[in-house]
Amino acid sequence: MCGIVGFVGTENAKERIVDGLKRLEYRGYDSAGIALPIDGKIQIRKHVGEITNLEKIIADDSFDAPVGIGHTRWATHGAPSDINAHPHGNQDDSIAIVHNGIIENYQEIREWLAREYGVQFKSETDSEVIAHLIGIYYDGDLLSAVNKAVEDMRGAYAVCAIAAAEPDKIVAVRKDAPLVAGIGRGCNFIASDIPALLKYVREVYLIENNETVVLTKDDITIYNDRGQKVKRDVFHVNWDADAAEKEGYDHFMIKEIHEQPKGIQETLMRRVDEEGNINLDGIAMTKEDIEGFNKVYIVACGTAYHAGLVGKSLIEKLAKIPVEVDVASEFRYRDPFVDENTLFIAISQSGETLDTLAALREAKAKGARILSVVNVVGSSVARESDDVFYTWAGPEIAVASTKAYTTQLICMYLIALYMGRTKGILSQGEYDRILNELKALPEKVEEILAKEEQLAFLAKKFHHKEHVFFIGRGLDCGVSYEGSLKLKEISYIHSFAIAAGELKHGTIALMDPDSLVVALATQDDLYEKMVSNIVEVTARGARVIGMAKEGRVEIEQVADEAVYIPSCADEVTPVLTVIPLQIFAYYVAKERGCNIDKPKNLAKSVTVE
Task: Show which residues are catalytic.
Answer: 2, 604
Q: Residue 366 Cβ, how far from ligand AGP at the closest point, in Å? A: 21
The smaller minimum CB distance to ligand AGP, of residues 205 and 305, is found at 305
Report long-range pairs for 133-136 (Cβ below 8 Å, ≥24 apart): 133/109, 134/90, 134/95, 134/97, 134/161, 134/163, 135/90, 135/91, 135/92, 135/94, 135/95, 136/90
Q: Residue 258 Cβ, how far from ligand AGP at the closest point, in Å? A: 17
> Could you tell me which stretch among 13-21, 41-49, 138-146, 600-608 binds ligand AGP (CB under 6 A)?
600-608
The smaller minimum CB distance to ligand AGP, of residues 14 and 306, is found at 306
List 207, 363, 606, 608, residue binding ligand AGP (CB under 6 A): 606
Identify the H or E element spanning 43. Answer: strand 41-48
The smaller minimum CB distance to ligand AGP, of residues 147 and 353, is found at 353
Q: Residue 333 Cβ, how far from ligand AGP at the closest point, in Å? A: 18
> Could you tell me which stretch among 18-26, 384-392, 398-406, 502-510 binds ligand AGP (CB under 6 A)?
398-406
Cα dihedral sign for 313, 317, 323, 328? Answer: negative
Residue 203 to residue 599: CA distance in whole angstroms:
32
**If binding is defined by CB under 6 A, does position 194 make contact with ligand AGP?**
no
Residue 278 to residue 286: CA distance in whole angstroms:
13
- What is the contact mask toward ligand AGP in residues 455 to 494, using x (rule: CB under 6 A)? ----------------------------------x-----
Residue 112 to residue 474: CA distance in whole angstroms:
57
Identify the H or E element spanning 548. Answer: strand 543-549
- What is the contact mask toward ligand AGP in residues 290 to 329, using x (rule: CB under 6 A)? -----------xxxx-------------------------
Extract the runs of DSSP E, i.e. beta strands, from 254-378. 295-300, 323-327, 342-348, 369-374
Residue 445 to residue 442: CA distance in whole angstroms:
5
The smaller minimum CB distance to ligand AGP, of residues 212 and 348, is found at 348
| Nearest alpha-carbon partner for 65 in 94, 43, 89, 93 | 43
Positions in 39-68 near ligand AGP (CB under 6 A): none
List 72, 348, 372, 533, residue binding ligand AGP (CB under 6 A): 348
Kindly provide the b/e burial profile for residues 321-356, where b requires at least 16 CB atoms within 10 angstroms of the residue's own CB. bebbbbbbbebbeeebebeeebbbbbbbbbbbbbbb
**If binding is defined by CB under 6 A, does position 565 make contact with ligand AGP?**
no
The smaller minimum CB distance to ligand AGP, of residues 187 and 301, is found at 301
List 72, 94, 212, 353, residue binding ligand AGP (CB under 6 A): 353
Cα 260 → chain centroid: 17
Q: Residue 358 Cβ, how far from ligand AGP at the closest point, in Å? A: 12
**If binding is defined by CB under 6 A, does position 400 make contact with ligand AGP?**
yes
∠ CA 344-348-353 to the nearest 5 degrees?
100
Q: Which residues are at the interface with ligand AGP (CB under 6 A)?
A: 301-304, 348-350, 353, 356, 399-401, 489, 602, 605-606
